């Protein structure tokens, strides 16, 4: 009956076992459509990790997923399920484009980076603000409102790209290319790393921004008063109110931070890679953030690891699409399975671990139980 696991098992073992289940089911799915899981895995590993070029792509995706994973992590800690990362990232991209296109020339990429970050964060936060407000003031369920805002964001982007921001004479719905000085150095351009990345790769300096963001989120949640309030509120809204923590303020701030983080993903792809805003720039990264946060147990360090895993899956999945007849949608299947096992079936995984490996409750719990009796 007891599902108490030692702390380390909860943090490390549960996600690993969940991942194992997801992997097994994925293999079964591959088999059922007539593909060879082992061969698929080979293609994935080779394509994602087998060359510096592959790493360049894997790390590029990892960067995006760190941002969207952090976004979900922050909101999950307040027990708010921000499913709107996709829309917030898209609107963040709009912010990046508007900021960067505002000047004809940028003096240096660092200046452009700061400006673009502010734009991305602001726009992403703004897109999260309405669902946040509706949840805080009117109790509207944030899951459904953020999902709706994803669809609305797509419509807004289409409208902006087709009717407003498209340069005259251009056929495809996209903005103009960003001006001089707004191009971010890729990992190939970083002195020292160019020995590893001998060709230009999509991974760029945003990767380091993402790592810094993860550190800052950790500090925020576990070292500051605001983070304390966010976590307390997530655990119990009634207790939070008793302690003088304002629910409306907490929900708003949490979602604004969350939206900002999701929006910041756009620096990586819109500014760092495509250097203009195109339709569907995010390609599902916002949703992967959910899987990343769950696998990472809603902790920034776990998010980095999980983001890397999904970066591997993403690049590997793209390679599968190129070299085999496995559709690229396979990676969505894996994404769904990971969320299912880490998020919804975690009790099942825990029960299994307790039954198979940990027969006794940990010493502190037993002592407390004796004390109670």
Partner 1 sequence: MDFLSSVFQILDSTLRLSTPLLFACLAGLFSERSGIFDIGLEGKMLIAAMASGAVAALTGSVWMGLGAGIVASMSFAAIHGIASITFRGNQLISGVALNFLASGITVLVAQRLFWQGGRTPPLTDGARFGELTLPFADAIRPVPVIGPFYADVISGHALLVYVALLFVPLTWWVLFRTRFGLRLRAVGENPAAVDTAGVSVIRMRYTAVAITGVLCGFAGAYMATALQAGFGKEMTAGRGYIALAALIFAKWRPWAALMACLLFGFFQALALRPDVVAKVLTVQVPVPALDALPYVLTVLVLAGFVGKAIPPRAGGEAYVKER
Partner 2 sequence: MTTRSDMTGRQATAAPPAIELRGISKAFGPVQANKDISLRVERGTIHGIIGENGAGKSTLMSILYGFYKADSGQILIGGKPVDIPDSQAAIRAGIGMVFQHFKLVHNFTVLENVILGAEEGARLRPSLAKARSLLADLARDYELDVDPEELIEELSVGHQQRVEILKALYRQADILILDEPTGVLTPAEADHLFRILRGLREQGKTIVLITHKLREIMEITDTVSVMRRGEMTATVKTAETSPEQLAELMVGRKVLLRVDKKPAQPGRTVLEVENLRVTDSDGVERLKGISLNIRAGEILGIAGVAGNGQSQLLEVLGGFCEARGTIRVNGQEIDVSGKHSNGQTRRARGIAHVPEDRQHLGLIMDFMAWENIVFGYHHDPAYQKNRLIMDNAGILAEAQAKMERFDVRPPIPTLAAKSFSGGNQQKIVLAREIEREPDLLLVGQPTRGVDIGAIEFIHQRIIELRDAGKAVLLVSVELDEILSMSDRIAVMFDGRIMGERLPEETNERELGLMMAGVAGKEAAA
Residues that bind partner 1 (CB under 8 A): 29, 33-34, 81, 83, 130-131, 134, 138-141, 143-145, 147-149, 151-152, 155-156, 158-159, 162-163, 287, 290, 294, 325-327, 329-337, 339-340, 343-348, 351
Instruction: Tell me the closest approach of the beta carbon of residue 124 to partner 2, in angstroms.
Output: 23
Q: Which does 290 bind (CB under 5 to 8 A by kind): partner 2, partner 1, none?
A: partner 1
* Count of all residues that appear for the chain in the document: 373
CA angle 151–346–262, rounded 5-degree value? 30
> Among candidates 29, 38, 54, which has minimal Cα distance to 311?
54
**Partner from partner 2, partner 1, none binding residue 208, C-beta < 5-8 Å depending on class:** none
Min CB(98)–partner 1 separation in Å: 18
**Footprint of partner 2 on this chain (CB under 8 A)?**
1-2, 219, 222-225, 228-229, 231-232, 235-236, 238-239, 241-246, 361, 364-373
Among residues 3 and 324, whose Cβ is nearest to partner 2? 3
Report which of 205, 197, 253, 336 is spatially closest to residue 77, judged by C-alpha positions. 253
Sign of CA dihedral 253, 255, 258, 260: negative
> Which one, 208 or 222, has the nearer CB to partner 2?
222
Question: 280-283: which pairs have CB atoms within 8 A and are 24 or more residues apart?
Answer: 280/154, 281/90, 281/93, 282/64, 282/86, 282/89, 282/90, 282/93
Q: Token pair of 301, please?
A: 């360090």
143 binds, among partner 2, partner 1, none (CB under 5 to 8 A by kind): partner 1
* Cβ closest to partner 2, residue 138 vs residue 370: 370
Minimum CB separation of residue 346 from partner 2 in Å reads: 15
Q: Shortest gap between Cβ of 130 and partner 1 (angstroms)?
A: 8
Residue 346 touches which of partner 1, partner 2, none (CB < 5 to 8 A by kind)?
Answer: partner 1
Q: Give first-to-last CA distance, the chain, whole Å.
A: 18
Cα angle vertex 333, ends 328, 338, to 5°? Answer: 130
The residue among 28 and 357 lying less far from partner 2, judged by its C-beta, is 357
Selection from partner 1, partner 2, none that 336 binds (CB < 5 to 8 A by kind) is partner 1
Beta carbon of residue 148, minimum distance to partner 1 (angstroms, whole number): 4
Based on CB atoms, which residue is closest to partner 1, 111 or 348?
348
Nearer to partner 2, 171 or 372 (CB): 372
Q: Is the Cβ–Cβ distance between 80 and 135 less than 8 Å?
A: yes
Residue 355 interface partner, choices partner 2, partner 1, none, CB cut-off 5-8 Å depending on type: none
Nearer Cβ to partner 2, position 58 or 250? 250
Residue 361, contacted partner among partner 1, partner 2, none, CB below 5-8 A by kind: partner 2
Q: Which long-range contacts (CB under 8 A, 24 or more apart) does 23-29 make?
A: 25/337, 26/330, 26/333, 26/334, 26/337, 29/330, 29/333
Partner in contact with 344, chosen from partner 2, partner 1, none, beta carbon below 5 to 8 Å by kind? partner 1
Please compute Rg for the chain using Cα positions. 22
DSSP 250-312: HHHHHHHHHHHHHHHHHIIIIIIIISS-BTT-STTHHHHHHHHHHHTTT-HHHHHHHHHHHHH
> Judged by CB, which is closer to partner 1: 152, or 211?
152
């Amino acid at each position: 009956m007891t599902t108490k696991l030692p702390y380390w098992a909860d943090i490390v073992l549960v996600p690993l076992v969940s991942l194992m289940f997801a992997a097994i089911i994925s293999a079964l799915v591959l088999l059922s459509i007539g593909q060879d899981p082992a061969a698929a895995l080979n293609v994935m590993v080779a394509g994602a990790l087998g060359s510096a070029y592959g790493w360049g792509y894997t790390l590029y995706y990892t960067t995006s997923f760190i941002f969207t994973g952090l976004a979900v992590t922050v909101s999950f800690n307040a027990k708010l399920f921000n499913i709107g990362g996709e829309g917030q990232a898209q609107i963040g991209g709009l912010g990046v484009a508007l900021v960067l296109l505002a000047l004809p020339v940028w003096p240096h990429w660092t200046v452009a980076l700061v400006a673009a970050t502010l734009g991305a964060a602001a726009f992403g936060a703004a897109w999260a603000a309405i669902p946040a407000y509706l949840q805080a003031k009117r109790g509207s369920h944030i899951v459904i409102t953020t999902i709706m805002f994803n669809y609305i964001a797509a419509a807004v982007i289409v409208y902006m790209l087709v009717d407003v921001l498209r340069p005259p004479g251009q056929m495809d719905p996209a903005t103009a290319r960003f001006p001089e000085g707004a191009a971010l150095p890729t990992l190939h351009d970083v002195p020292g790393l160019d020995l590893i990345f001998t060709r230009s790769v999509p991974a760029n300096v945003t990767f380091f921004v993402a790592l810094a963001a993860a550190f800052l989120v950790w500090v925020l949640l576990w070292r500051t008063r605001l983070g304390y309030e966010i976590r307390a509120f997530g655990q119990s809204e009634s207790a939070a109110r008793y302690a003088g923590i304002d629910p409306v303020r907490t929900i708003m701030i949490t979602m604004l931070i969350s939206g900002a983080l999701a929006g910041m993903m756009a620096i990586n792809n819109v500014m760092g890679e495509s250097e203009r805003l195109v339709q569907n720039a995010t390609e599902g990264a916002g949703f992967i953030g959910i899987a990343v946060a769950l696998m990472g147990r809603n902790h920034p360090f776990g998010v980095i690891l999980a983001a890397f895993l999904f970066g591997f899956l993403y690049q590997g999945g793209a390679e599968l699409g190129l070299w085999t007849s496995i559709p690229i949608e396979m990676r969505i299947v894996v994404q769904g399975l990971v969320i299912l096992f880490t998020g919804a079936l975690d009790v099942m995984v825990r029960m299994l671990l307790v039954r198979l490996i940990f027969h006794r409750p940990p010493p502190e719990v037993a002592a407390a139980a004796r004390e109670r009796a």
